[in-house]
Structure 1
């Protein structure tokens, strides 16, 4: 979800693991030569979502890669199945109030430019929560943790998966 810290936590994980880091938002922005808000404004959400899905597909062949997606990647049903086959999906969860405070500080969220931003945010979150729960292998509550602490928590949970775990295999309860 927007405001969860996906990009900054991704950078922390990259520093700790030395894995490649790919961010769908950065790839889409680069392809269009525009910022995400500019893409939304000029082409609309649907075009952005299609480009986001294409960026995800292009990353699929990269091994030992941390892929940071936008929070809306789950809105396409095909992406849910694709993410599950791709690898471990980590859900950076947080309290609604915490997420909204973070997002409000940035002031750069196209989806919140219509209507009452607080109400729109709550609606988006409620629509996405079941999708995050459906696709995530691991959930980390980011409400009171620093980015580094979140990265450590993720690596700890990944370590509990064991070396023989493969995408599509059940996740041991100890790793959730």
Structure 2
């Protein structure tokens, strides 16, 4: 049992962090924070625009500042961006105040879910399968090392995934009482 004031979802793009996260927050009576959306609200610019104007390093710096702020809160389901775990300070913030769930999904499932999505800067050009496989090889071990729980989301409808994840969390995660 890992008591933590927040539930954090990590994993690759297309794993369902946002859709499952929203449903799970609703089921648990928690606030939902999508880090990419919160960053867009904070900056007034879309993630692709930030990438275009500031490059990935600029985006990652903004993402790190946001994660540091968000993780000071409590009683939240926090959906991170897929690359947020690359920054050691982000990993420390996420693990320090969050029960971290790695939503695992196959590259085939990602391709299916992202087929019509044009908002992912890292998939804007080139072979999507190759890029997703390279990202999985780089990030998968980081997700797994950070996770308190690995949850297989492949092929599950959002409601089913949220229900099954909630059942697993019941025996593994407990929110501490507010001080």
Output the TM-score relative to the length of structure 1.
0.87
The equivalent of 1:161 in structure 2 is 172
Unaligned 5+ runs, structure 2: 1-11
**Counterpart Cα distance in 1 of 2:143 and 2:57:** 20
The equivalent of 1:141 in structure 2 is 152
Which of the pair has the greater relative contact order for Cα pairs under 8 Å at 6+ separation?
Answer: 2
**Counterpart Cα distance in 2 of 1:144 and 1:119:** 21
- 1:140–1:153 CA contact under 8 A, matched in 2: no
**Counterpart Cα distance in 2 of 1:36 and 1:74:** 17
Unaligned 5+ runs, structure 1: 167-176
Tell me which protein shows more helix as a share of its residues. Answer: 1
Output the TM-score relative to the length of structure 2.
0.86
1:101 aligns with 2:112: yes
- 1:83–1:89 CA contact under 8 A, matched in 2: yes
Change (3 A) 1:106 1:161: same
Q: State the superposition RMSD in angstroms.
A: 1.8
The residue correspondences of 1:17-166 to structure 2 (distance < 5 A) are 17-161=28-172, 163=174
The equivalent of 2:7 in structure 1 is none
**Counterpart Cα distance in 2 of 1:160 and 1:18:** 17
Change (3 A) 1:97 1:76: same
